């Protein structure tokens, strides 16, 4: 959800990459540092919003207000200037990463010959695994819900072992750089298909599972081949700046439910949070919506969108911090079950509640569309590990741990939702 704000001198680096041809060397971040800054007053917040006037940085979080920590990426030439800026304003900070490229290398694609969950994988490997599983199991119905702007398939999997079940929908990687999202969604799908755990097999018998693990294939491929810090899709959005044409829409700001009402820089076409000139403009989003619309009303009873990072279970609504769904208390009880069970595995604490209240106010998200338009009675965004140490660049050696704790949380969530009558 939170992502990279590209500014000034680093923009040419990224924009050159955006126009690159296949095979061109990807952008690198050798000796770039990641700073954690704590903002405790409105005055400091306003100064941070103007930081690009003095220092060249990437800002990893949407700038929403004081009382929060924010993460900045700075190149080696600008570290002294950033230190002076922060010290002058008496902003408390620490350097949490000394060499961003080393961290990126640690989370890069490893052995890509076959699908497993010790490494991140390319789109081709993920899709090959899906195809093989679909060919091996007659209870899987697999298809293509549409194609991306650049013509890549958006694949879906429906697991159904008996008629009359209600369905749970899992969605991944709407934001390109959040690799742990599709890794976790495919981990969960693998558990439902291949796990010998009796509880997972029961859940695969008693519920239908509809999975779209890769909503943003163009952006995902771009993060592998050109720019690891990319968030949006890859459609030219009709705007330009001094560096050239601007690309992409933040697709989790493009859904029509309360679109455009709130959010950091959602109306800035060359920023990574641009929600589009109108709602529902992106072919990937329209394909996802049409796919959901293809099922009869009342069939999909839970919709879970997986993102990084922060360890949250974010409930509707995102567009307000004073308006809440009619069954908000019920949804909080279900989210609490996920949080408690996930924490029992490795101690990872997931905070739960309305996203507009806990995280920040932003409009046009998938979970709000699923709740507000499709009337799915439990929807959420699960923000996966971690709380900022690695952020979007979680090392691959944590994939299995994330999958394991989320599997535990998912079991508890579904069982609590059933107890609450969500699947009636």
Catalytic residues: 383
The Cα 216–Cα 251 span in angstroms is: 8
Contact 171, 367 (CB under 8 A): no
The Cα 59–Cα 53 span in angstroms is: 13
The Cα 98–Cα 94 span in angstroms is: 10
Strand blocks (E) in 54-120: 58-59, 68-74, 92-97
Residues pairing with 306 in the sheet: 172, 382
The Cα 168–Cα 61 span in angstroms is: 30
Residues pairing with 11 in the sheet: none
Burial of 59 (0-12, 13-18, 19+ CB in 10 A): buried
The three-class DSSP label of residue 353 is: strand
Residues pairing with 172 in the sheet: 306
The three-class DSSP label of residue 218 is: helix
Burial of 2 (0-12, 13-18, 19+ CB in 10 A): buried
């Amino acid at each position: 959800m939170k992502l990279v704000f590209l500014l000034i001198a680093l923009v040419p680096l990224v924009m050159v990459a955006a126009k690159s041809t296949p095979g061109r060397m990807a952008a690198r971040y050798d000796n770039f540092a990641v700073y954690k800054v704590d903002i405790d007053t409105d005055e400091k917040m306003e100064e941070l919003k103007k930081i690009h006037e003095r220092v060249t940085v990437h800002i990893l979080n949407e700038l929403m207000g004081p009382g929060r920590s924010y993460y900045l990426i700075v190149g080696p030439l600008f570290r002294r200037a950033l230190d002076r800026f922060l010290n002058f304003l008496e902003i408390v900070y620490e350097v949490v990463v000394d060499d961003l490229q080393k961290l990126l290398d640690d989370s890069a694609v490893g052995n890509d010959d076959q699908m497993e969950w010790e490494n991140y994988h390319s789109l081709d490997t993920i899709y090959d695994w899906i195809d093989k599983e679909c060919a091996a199991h007659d209870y899987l119905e697999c298809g293509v819900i549409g194609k991306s702007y650049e013509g890549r398939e958006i694949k879906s999997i429906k697991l159904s072992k008996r008629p009359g079940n209600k369905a749970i929908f899992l969605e991944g990687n709407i934001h390109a750089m959040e690799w742990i999202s599709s890794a976790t969604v495919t981990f969960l799908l693998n558990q439902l298909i291949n796990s010998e755990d009796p509880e997972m097999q029961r859940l695969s018998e008693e519920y239908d599972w509809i999975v779209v693990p890769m909503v943003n294939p163009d952006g995902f491929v771009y993060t592998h081949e050109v720019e690891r810090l990319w968030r949006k899709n890859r459609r030219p959005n009709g705007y330009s700046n001094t560096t050239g044409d601007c690309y992409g829409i933040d697709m989790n700001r493009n859904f029509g439910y309360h679109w455009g009402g709130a959010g950091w820089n959602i109306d800035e076409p060359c920023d990574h949070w641009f929600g589009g000139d109108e709602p529902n403009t992106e072919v990937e989003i329209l394909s996802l919506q049409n796919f959901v619309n293809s099922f009869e009303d009342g069939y999909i009873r839970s919709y879970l969108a997986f993102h990084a990072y922060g360890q949250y279970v974010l409930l509707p609504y995102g567009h307000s911090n004073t308006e809440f769904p009619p069954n908000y208390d019920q949804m909080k009880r279900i989210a609490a079950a996920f949080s408690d069970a996930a924490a029992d595995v490795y101690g990872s604490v997931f905070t739960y509640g309305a996203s507009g209240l806990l995280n920040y106010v932003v409009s046009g998200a998938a979970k709000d569309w699923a709740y507000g338009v499709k009337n799915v009675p439990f929807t959420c965004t699960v923000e996966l590990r971690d709380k900022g140490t690695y952020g979007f660049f979680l090392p691959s050696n944590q994939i299995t741990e994330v999958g394991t704790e989320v599997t535990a949380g998912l079991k508890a969530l579904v069982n609590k939702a059933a107890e609450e009558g969500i699947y009636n």
